[in-house]
């Protein structure tokens, strides 16, 4: 399996949330948590947009409740689909 390295910049609050989630869900490191998050996201792309939105809303509500309305989240999904 070929692997690549991807770097990202996080805000302090995002880093703290990632540390907390990694510890809470039993990941060995923040990197492992990020790899799993990326895999989840890529798998979500295979879902229909309505189903993907429902799953993303559930995840978002569990981890970091959003201030965005469902309509705003739906618009983001449609914009994302247009990119692909």
Q: What is the pLDDT of residues 33-51, one digit of tens each?
A: 999 988 888 888 888 888 8
Does this model's pTM top 0.75? My answer is no
- The pLDDT tens digits of the residues spanning 47-73 come to 888 888 888 778 777 766 656 666 676
DSSP 58: H
């Amino acid at each position: 399996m070929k692997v690549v390295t991807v770097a990202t910049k996080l805000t302090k609050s995002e880093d703290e949330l990632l540390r907390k989630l990694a510890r809470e869900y039993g990941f060995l490191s923040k990197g492992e948590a990020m790899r799993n998050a990326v895999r989840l996201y890529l798998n979500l792309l295979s879902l229909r947009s309505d189903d993907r939105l429902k799953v993303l809303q559930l995840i978002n509500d569990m981890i970091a409740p959003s201030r965005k309305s469902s309509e705003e989240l739906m618009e983001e999904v449609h914009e994302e689909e247009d990119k692909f």
